[in-house]
Structure 1
Amino acid sequence: MIHFATSFEHPGLTADDRRVPEQLAQRGVPTQVLRWRSEEDNRRVRAGDLVVVRSCWDYHLHTEAFLAWLDQLTGRGVRIANGHERLRRTLHKRYLLELEAESLARIAPTRLVGQDDAADLDELIEQLGSADLVVKPAVSLSAHGTWRVASLGRPQARARFAGQVRQQDLLVQRYLPQIEEEGEISFVFLGGLYSHAVRKTPRAGDFRVQADFGGSHVAHLPDKCLIDQAARLLDGFADDTTYARVDAVPVDGGLVLMELEVIDPVLFLSTDSGAVSRFCDALCA
């Protein structure tokens, strides 16, 4: 049995994902939806079943409960697509700095600021060499709690930063103007192999490419050299993934990594005619 994990807020599969169980049923593979915080749904999961995290889009609000749920599934002999430890490692955005330290990825100039750190916004502006910074929670999704320092006056930005860092770890990054100018590319990998890509662009006057903030996406065919760069990153960190999405911005002919999504990324399956079949192949494997 394959269980597609969702949430109470998003209990059903997305329109993009809905075609996957339909095709799996044609192959004789049973599936069902699992709301990850539902005790009733979790009782239906058996040892040897496969859980595929899809629209658990509230995990950043229930982080400890989400990690405990993964532990509990693993302890019961349930398989988790992409692996329990990899999901746990990428839950906190410190993994981006780890990838850079391992020379696996190039990222924007970044500082991780913990709740107990004494750093203030002015110090970070000096360290990163720019007053145009992006602040984002270290555990977050869909740009929740993400903002741009330059969009506020300095006193207001200082106050917002100080209030936010008391609540959570933050990632502070130098703003990349290429996001507004050219957008961000999402490279989708299924079964460890490149499948397809989309280009995401923010709405006019914004920098967030997520649909929640007015961003849009179109099918995109990246240059082979960029696909190869994304594939090398995956090979170095997550070569045995069932599914993954590499979000990156092309800068000076190379990729600057924004996220390596292996928990519950939107896979844009509807933008490529063969993507659903490739996803089903990866799940069955």
Structure 2
Amino acid sequence: MPKICILTAAPDYFEDLGPARAAYQRLLGDDIAFRHWTDPGDLTSFDLVLPLLVWGYQRDCPRWFALLDQLEQHQINMANPVSVLRWNSDKSYLLKLEQAGIAIVPTVISAALTPDDIARATDKFGSNELVVKPPISGGADGTYRLRPGDPLPDSIAGKQILIQPFQPAIAQEGEYSLFYFAGTFSHAILKRPADGDFRVQEFLGGSESGTDCPEGAQDLAVVAREAAEQILGTDTLLYARIDMLRDAAGRFRLMELELIEPSLFFGHAGDGGALFARGVDAALTD
């Protein structure tokens, strides 16, 4: 029987991985292995390694990129591939997708964030509210909403930072996530922040619900995923979560392309995740 390993968060990670582990055991079998990404040991005996639960990797970037180098050196069969994981770790990939013609949330990068950068971005975007975040981030770590005159948080001042105009749709409608397994659409959800917030993570009070795809959402999702595959020269990705929202004109814009450790929300999939499991089986036989 093929041996599968799922890499997980460090032992001291604050979120409970239990439900996610149980979902993957239900889909892939009770005999799958789980290893902490921070100390995974020898992975060469596994037929397939999945980084699906490496939550918190952004908090130890040197160790994360060292692991990717090690996986590549030992030619570990990874899905998604190491080249994809490395590229997707840094959200500056959004600018590459924009160059490929993908409609993204407008984004600029400051090499070392200063108030002048905020002022220039305010003028460029014509927006009095900005969202700033580190290019390597997750779970809303280091993500702030800034208005004119707000002081720069100490945690991001002088650091490399992505700057985007705040999108009112996040509070008015929410953020859509579309899920694709081996290139086939599975399901979609709509995530909403708590009142007064703009972050949709559940541990921050956000909520999600299953939803049908509005017109135009799948069009953006497909071209964004295919553009990433073309940029990277890779085969169809085993899994992809595409996050998007509407701009002021009602056009969908890409927020993030989640290809490393996205929550996959199988509870909202009509088949409970069977399409994902079939994709894993196919990856094992390639």
Shorter-chain TM range is 0.7 to 0.9
Matched with 1:164 is 156
SS in 2 for 1:3: strand
Picking from 218, 232, 237, the partner of 2:223 is: 232
SS in 2 for 1:185: strand
C-alpha distance in 2 between matches for 1:211 and 1:256: 22
C-alpha distance in 2 between matches for 1:77 and 1:101: 31
C-alpha distance in 2 between matches for 1:170 and 1:189: 29
Matched with 1:256 is 253
Query: For residues 121 and 225 of structure 1, do their structure 2 counterparts lie closer, same or farther at Cα, with a shift above 3 Å needed?
Result: closer
Query: For residues 56 and 130 of structure 1, do their structure 2 counterparts lie closer, same or farther at Cα, with a shift above 3 Å needed?
Result: same
C-alpha distance in 1 between matches for 2:272 and 2:90: 28
C-alpha distance in 2 between matches for 1:17 and 1:128: 42
Indicate if the aligned counterparts of 1:12 and 1:33 stay in contact, CA closer than 8 A.
no
Matched with 2:33 is 32
Of residues 251-260 and 264-273 in structure 1, the stretch that sits farther from structure 2 once superposed is 251-260
Picking from 135, 139, 148, the partner of 2:136 is: 139
Matched, 1:208 2:209: no
1:270-285 alignment runs, 5 A limit: 270-285=267-282
Indicate if the aligned counterparts of 1:114 and 1:165 stay in contact, CA closer than 8 A.
no
Shift of 1:36: 0.8
Shift of 1:64: 1.6
Q: 1:135-191: CA deviations, max 9, x gaps?
A: 1111100111111112xx61xx24437x6132x311110011011100010001111
SS in 1 for 2:97: helix
Matched, 1:21 2:25: yes
Matched with 2:232 is none
Of residues 208-217 and 11-20 in structure 1, the stretch that sits farther from structure 2 once superposed is 11-20
Q: CA RMSD in A?
A: 2.2
Matched, 1:9 2:12: yes
Indicate if the aligned counterparts of 1:47 and 1:76 stay in contact, CA closer than 8 A.
no
1:49-64 alignment runs, 5 A limit: 49-64=47-62
Indicate if the aligned counterparts of 2:71 and 2:82 stay in contact, CA closer than 8 A.
no
Q: 1:238-271: CA deviations, max 9, x gaps?
A: 3611111000003345311110000100000111
SS in 1 for 2:261: coil
Instruction: Give identity over the alignment, percent.
Output: 31
C-alpha distance in 2 between matches for 1:172 and 1:55: 27
Letter in 1 for 2:205: G
Shift of 1:212: 2.1
Letter in 1 for 2:182: G
SS in 2 for 1:186: strand
Shift of 1:13: 4.2
TM-score, normalising length from structure 1?
A: 0.88
Letter in 2 for 1:197: A
Indicate if the aligned counterparts of 2:199 and 2:206 stay in contact, CA closer than 8 A.
yes
C-alpha distance in 2 between matches for 1:93 and 1:119: 22
C-alpha distance in 2 between matches for 1:224 and 1:275: 24
Letter in 1 for 2:41: N
1:117-132 alignment runs, 5 A limit: 119-132=116-129
C-alpha distance in 2 between matches for 1:14 and 1:231: 31
TM-score, normalising length from structure 2?
A: 0.87
C-alpha distance in 2 between matches for 1:165 and 1:284: 46
Shift of 1:76: 1.3
C-alpha distance in 2 between matches for 1:17 and 1:273: 20
Matched with 1:199 is 190
C-alpha distance in 2 between matches for 1:14 and 1:271: 18
Of residues 231-240 and 206-215 in structure 1, the stretch that sits farther from structure 2 once superposed is 231-240
C-alpha distance in 2 between matches for 1:283 and 1:12: 24
